């Protein structure tokens, strides 16, 4: 619930700033109308950047990979005992 309140208050603050810029003549009106579009594009670029950084820093875990392979072999043996065909072809 607290996260929703933070997001909502951020949206309200950004909307108030945008309306304030529309009412004042600090930034030309033609640029002010495009600020939400710029914000959404910037947010998308930030999201892609964070996904890219996360993928570049994704840890490799060789021990966990071996444990996973052991679990797969164990599960295949269990399913073969139950009569399930688990051939990988």
Per-residue pLDDT tens digits for 16-30:
887 887 788 777 777
Q: Would 79 be classed as within a structural domain?
A: no
- Specify the number of domains making up the chain: 1
Structure-token match 């269990």, residue found: 78
pTM for the model stands at 0.48
Is position 88 within any domain? no
Res. 48 pLDDT band, cuts 50 70 90: very high
Whether 66 is covered by a domain: the verdict is: no
The 3-state DSSP class for residue 10 equals: helix
| Domain of 30, in residue numbers | 1-59
Q: Is residue 81 part of a domain?
A: no
Query: Is pLDDT at 89 greater than 60 in this prediction?
Result: no
Residue at 75 is within a domain: no
Dihedral of CA 16/18/20/26: which sign?
A: positive
35-56 helix and 2-23 helix, angle to the nearest 10 degrees: 140
């Amino acid at each position: 619930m607290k996260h929703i309140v933070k997001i909502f208050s951020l949206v309200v603050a950004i909307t108030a700033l945008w309306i304030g810029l529309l009412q004042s003549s600090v930034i030309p009106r033609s640029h002010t109308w495009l600020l939400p579009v710029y914000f959404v594009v910037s947010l998308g670029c930030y999201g892609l950047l964070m996904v890219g950084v996360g993928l570049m820093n994704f840890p490799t875990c060789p021990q966990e990979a071996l444990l996973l392979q052991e679990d797969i072999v164990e599960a295949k043996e269990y399913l073969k005992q139950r009569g399930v065909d688990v051939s990988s072809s």
